[in-house]
Amino acid sequence: MKFELPKLPYAYDALEPYIDSRTMELHHAKHHRAYVDKLNAAIEKHPAYDGAPAADEFKAGKPELRVLEEWLADPNSVPEDVRAAVRNNGGGHFNHSFFWKSMAPTGQGGRGEPEGRLSEAIEKSLGGFAKFKEDFSKAAAGVFGSGWAWLAVENGNLAIVTTSNQDSPIAKGQKPLLCLDVWEHAYYLKYQNRRPEYIDAWWNVVNWREAERNFEVA
Ligand code: MN
Protein backbone atom coordinates (compact mmCIF):
# COMPACT_ATOMS: atom_id res chain seq x y z
CA MET A 1 0.00 0.00 0.00
CA LYS A 2 1.51 3.26 -1.13
CA PHE A 3 0.70 6.82 -1.91
CA GLU A 4 1.18 7.72 -5.54
CA LEU A 5 2.21 10.81 -7.44
CA PRO A 6 -0.93 11.94 -9.27
CA LYS A 7 -0.78 12.78 -12.95
CA LEU A 8 -1.07 16.47 -13.74
CA PRO A 9 -4.49 17.30 -15.20
CA TYR A 10 -2.72 19.10 -18.10
CA ALA A 11 0.65 19.10 -19.88
CA TYR A 12 3.75 20.66 -18.31
CA ASP A 13 3.64 23.50 -20.84
CA ALA A 14 -0.11 24.10 -20.53
CA LEU A 15 0.21 27.07 -18.19
CA GLU A 16 2.77 28.94 -20.32
CA PRO A 17 3.67 31.75 -20.37
CA TYR A 18 2.46 32.36 -16.81
CA ILE A 19 4.00 29.26 -15.25
CA ASP A 20 6.83 27.89 -17.37
CA SER A 21 7.12 24.31 -18.48
CA ARG A 22 10.50 23.63 -16.84
CA THR A 23 9.26 24.86 -13.45
CA MET A 24 6.12 22.72 -13.74
CA GLU A 25 8.16 19.64 -14.63
CA LEU A 26 10.65 20.05 -11.77
CA HIS A 27 7.89 20.98 -9.35
CA HIS A 28 5.76 17.95 -10.16
CA ALA A 29 8.28 15.27 -11.12
CA LYS A 30 10.95 16.16 -8.52
CA HIS A 31 9.53 18.17 -5.63
CA HIS A 32 6.09 16.60 -5.40
CA ARG A 33 7.50 13.12 -6.00
CA ALA A 34 9.97 13.61 -3.14
CA TYR A 35 7.10 14.32 -0.73
CA VAL A 36 5.29 11.18 -1.88
CA ASP A 37 8.43 9.03 -1.58
CA LYS A 38 9.27 10.35 1.89
CA LEU A 39 5.69 9.89 3.06
CA ASN A 40 5.76 6.27 1.87
CA ALA A 41 9.13 5.71 3.55
CA ALA A 42 7.75 7.05 6.84
CA ILE A 43 4.57 4.99 6.95
CA GLU A 44 6.43 1.80 6.00
CA LYS A 45 7.84 1.89 9.54
CA HIS A 46 4.50 0.68 10.84
CA PRO A 47 4.04 -2.96 9.91
CA ALA A 48 1.45 -3.29 12.68
CA TYR A 49 -0.72 -1.08 10.53
CA ASP A 50 0.11 -3.16 7.48
CA GLY A 51 2.12 -0.30 6.10
CA ALA A 52 0.23 2.68 7.47
CA PRO A 53 -2.41 4.01 9.79
CA ALA A 54 -5.85 3.75 8.19
CA ALA A 55 -4.62 0.88 6.03
CA ASP A 56 -8.02 -0.79 6.27
CA GLU A 57 -9.68 2.29 4.85
CA PHE A 58 -7.22 2.27 1.99
CA LYS A 59 -7.96 -1.39 1.33
CA ALA A 60 -11.66 -0.67 1.39
CA GLY A 61 -11.08 1.65 -1.53
CA LYS A 62 -11.14 4.99 0.24
CA PRO A 63 -9.23 7.49 -1.90
CA GLU A 64 -5.74 8.07 -0.54
CA LEU A 65 -6.17 11.82 -0.31
CA ARG A 66 -9.27 11.38 1.87
CA VAL A 67 -7.25 9.19 4.22
CA LEU A 68 -4.40 11.68 4.20
CA GLU A 69 -6.85 14.49 4.93
CA GLU A 70 -7.98 12.66 8.07
CA TRP A 71 -4.39 12.26 9.27
CA LEU A 72 -3.68 15.95 8.70
CA ALA A 73 -6.90 17.00 10.41
CA ASP A 74 -6.16 14.78 13.41
CA PRO A 75 -2.39 14.36 13.84
CA ASN A 76 -2.92 12.36 17.04
CA SER A 77 -4.30 9.54 14.92
CA VAL A 78 -0.81 9.13 13.45
CA PRO A 79 1.90 7.24 15.40
CA GLU A 80 4.14 9.72 17.16
CA ASP A 81 7.41 8.65 15.58
CA VAL A 82 6.15 9.42 12.07
CA ARG A 83 3.85 12.32 12.98
CA ALA A 84 6.29 15.03 11.87
CA ALA A 85 7.07 13.16 8.64
CA VAL A 86 3.36 12.81 7.87
CA ARG A 87 2.75 16.48 8.67
CA ASN A 88 5.58 17.63 6.39
CA ASN A 89 5.55 15.08 3.58
CA GLY A 90 1.90 14.16 3.80
CA GLY A 91 1.15 17.88 3.88
CA GLY A 92 3.39 18.33 0.85
CA HIS A 93 1.57 15.57 -1.02
CA PHE A 94 -1.87 16.91 -0.12
CA ASN A 95 -1.04 20.57 -0.82
CA HIS A 96 0.57 19.91 -4.20
CA SER A 97 -2.24 17.58 -5.29
CA PHE A 98 -4.63 20.39 -4.42
CA PHE A 99 -2.48 23.05 -6.09
CA TRP A 100 -2.37 21.33 -9.50
CA LYS A 101 -6.16 21.26 -9.53
CA SER A 102 -6.32 24.92 -8.50
CA MET A 103 -4.89 25.79 -11.91
CA ALA A 104 -6.01 25.26 -15.49
CA PRO A 105 -4.87 26.46 -18.90
CA THR A 106 -6.15 29.93 -19.68
CA GLY A 107 -9.81 29.85 -20.61
CA GLN A 108 -10.39 26.33 -19.27
CA GLY A 109 -10.91 27.20 -15.62
CA GLY A 110 -13.53 29.85 -16.06
CA ARG A 111 -13.61 33.39 -17.30
CA GLY A 112 -10.98 34.75 -14.97
CA GLU A 113 -13.40 35.32 -12.10
CA PRO A 114 -15.56 33.11 -9.92
CA GLU A 115 -19.24 32.84 -10.73
CA GLY A 116 -22.45 31.84 -9.00
CA ARG A 117 -22.56 31.17 -5.27
CA LEU A 118 -18.81 31.51 -4.79
CA SER A 119 -18.87 34.92 -6.43
CA GLU A 120 -21.75 35.95 -4.12
CA ALA A 121 -19.87 34.71 -1.06
CA ILE A 122 -16.73 36.64 -2.06
CA GLU A 123 -18.90 39.72 -2.46
CA LYS A 124 -20.47 39.20 0.97
CA SER A 125 -17.47 38.05 3.05
CA LEU A 126 -14.42 39.48 1.31
CA GLY A 127 -15.56 42.79 -0.08
CA GLY A 128 -15.91 41.74 -3.72
CA PHE A 129 -13.58 40.16 -6.25
CA ALA A 130 -11.23 43.11 -6.77
CA LYS A 131 -10.64 43.48 -3.04
CA PHE A 132 -10.28 39.73 -2.59
CA LYS A 133 -7.69 39.57 -5.36
CA GLU A 134 -5.71 42.41 -3.83
CA ASP A 135 -5.86 40.98 -0.30
CA PHE A 136 -5.01 37.45 -1.42
CA SER A 137 -2.03 38.73 -3.43
CA LYS A 138 -0.78 40.70 -0.44
CA ALA A 139 -1.17 37.72 1.85
CA ALA A 140 0.71 35.47 -0.60
CA ALA A 141 3.49 38.02 -1.09
CA GLY A 142 3.76 38.43 2.68
CA VAL A 143 4.29 34.77 3.57
CA PHE A 144 7.67 34.77 5.30
CA GLY A 145 9.91 32.06 3.89
CA SER A 146 8.19 29.02 2.41
CA GLY A 147 4.45 28.49 2.51
CA TRP A 148 1.06 28.78 0.92
CA ALA A 149 -1.87 31.16 0.47
CA TRP A 150 -5.40 29.75 0.48
CA LEU A 151 -8.98 30.69 -0.04
CA ALA A 152 -10.82 28.58 2.52
CA VAL A 153 -14.08 28.21 4.38
CA GLU A 154 -13.72 28.81 8.11
CA ASN A 155 -16.73 28.56 10.43
CA GLY A 156 -19.05 28.89 7.47
CA ASN A 157 -17.36 32.02 6.10
CA LEU A 158 -14.82 32.58 3.36
CA ALA A 159 -11.35 33.51 4.56
CA ILE A 160 -7.92 34.17 3.11
CA VAL A 161 -5.40 32.15 5.12
CA THR A 162 -1.71 31.42 4.87
CA THR A 163 0.26 28.41 6.09
CA SER A 164 3.97 27.86 6.64
CA ASN A 165 6.09 25.11 5.13
CA GLN A 166 3.76 22.24 4.17
CA ASP A 167 1.08 22.90 6.75
CA SER A 168 -2.44 22.72 5.47
CA PRO A 169 -5.62 24.60 6.48
CA ILE A 170 -7.36 21.28 7.19
CA ALA A 171 -5.19 20.98 10.31
CA LYS A 172 -7.11 24.00 11.62
CA GLY A 173 -10.51 22.74 10.55
CA GLN A 174 -10.65 25.05 7.53
CA LYS A 175 -11.88 23.73 4.18
CA PRO A 176 -9.63 24.78 1.27
CA LEU A 177 -11.12 25.99 -2.00
CA LEU A 178 -8.04 27.28 -3.82
CA CYS A 179 -4.31 27.49 -3.09
CA LEU A 180 -1.13 29.12 -4.28
CA ASP A 181 2.32 27.70 -3.61
CA VAL A 182 4.77 30.49 -2.74
CA TRP A 183 7.81 28.32 -2.02
CA GLU A 184 10.72 29.62 -4.12
CA HIS A 185 10.81 26.33 -6.04
CA ALA A 186 7.39 27.30 -7.46
CA TYR A 187 8.67 30.39 -9.27
CA TYR A 188 12.41 30.97 -8.94
CA LEU A 189 13.48 29.72 -12.40
CA LYS A 190 11.27 32.20 -14.23
CA TYR A 191 10.72 35.00 -11.72
CA GLN A 192 13.80 34.70 -9.45
CA ASN A 193 13.09 36.77 -6.33
CA ARG A 194 10.09 38.58 -7.87
CA ARG A 195 7.35 36.71 -6.03
CA PRO A 196 4.70 39.43 -6.63
CA GLU A 197 5.17 39.04 -10.43
CA TYR A 198 4.58 35.30 -10.13
CA ILE A 199 1.45 35.94 -8.07
CA ASP A 200 0.14 38.43 -10.67
CA ALA A 201 0.76 35.90 -13.44
CA TRP A 202 -0.90 33.08 -11.49
CA TRP A 203 -4.30 34.82 -11.58
CA ASN A 204 -4.40 34.06 -15.32
CA VAL A 205 -4.44 30.31 -14.71
CA VAL A 206 -6.73 29.99 -11.69
CA ASN A 207 -9.25 27.17 -12.06
CA TRP A 208 -12.40 28.90 -10.84
CA ARG A 209 -14.57 25.95 -11.88
CA GLU A 210 -12.65 23.78 -9.41
CA ALA A 211 -12.88 26.40 -6.62
CA GLU A 212 -16.64 26.66 -7.24
CA ARG A 213 -16.98 22.86 -6.98
CA ASN A 214 -14.97 22.84 -3.74
CA PHE A 215 -17.20 25.58 -2.37
CA GLU A 216 -20.37 23.59 -3.12
CA VAL A 217 -18.95 20.62 -1.18
CA ALA A 218 -17.68 22.77 1.73
MN1 MN B 1 5.81 23.32 -4.14
pLDDT per position as a tens digit, 76-96: 888 899 999 999 999 999 999
Do residue 84 and residue 126 come from a single domain? no
User: Cis omega before residue 176 (within 30°)?
Assistant: no
Can you give the residue range of the structural domain that contains 83? 21-101
Of the chain, the percentage scoring pLDDT greater than 90 comes to: 78
**How do residues 168-187 score in pLDDT, each as one tens digit?**
999 999 999 999 999 999 99
SS3 for 182?
coil
Split at pLDDT 50, 70, 90, the class of 111 is confident
**How do residues 140-170 score in pLDDT, each as one tens digit?**
999 999 999 999 999 999 999 999 999 999 9
Assign residue 34 the CATH number of its domain.
1.10.287.990
Do residue 121 and residue 55 come from a single domain? no
157 vs 60, 72, 94, 172, 184, CA distance in Å?
34, 21, 23, 14, 30
Residue pair 31/190 in contact (Cβ under 8 Å)? The answer is no
Do residue 96 and residue 121 come from a single domain? no
Mean per-residue pLDDT of the chain: 92
Q: How many domains does the chain have?
A: 2
Q: Ligand 1 centroid vs 185 CA: distance in angstroms?
A: 6
Q: What is the pLDDT of residue 52?
A: 56
Residues with CB under 5 A from ligand 1 (ion): 181, 183, 186
Q: What is the pLDDT of residue 56?
A: 67
Do residue 158 and residue 203 come from a single domain? yes
Whether the pLDDT of residue 59 is over 70: the answer is no
Q: What average pLDDT does the segment 110-138 reach? A: 95
Residue pair 189/20 in contact (Cβ under 8 Å)? The answer is yes
Q: Ligand 1 centroid vs 31 CA: distance in angstroms?
A: 7
Do residue 135 and residue 85 come from a single domain? no
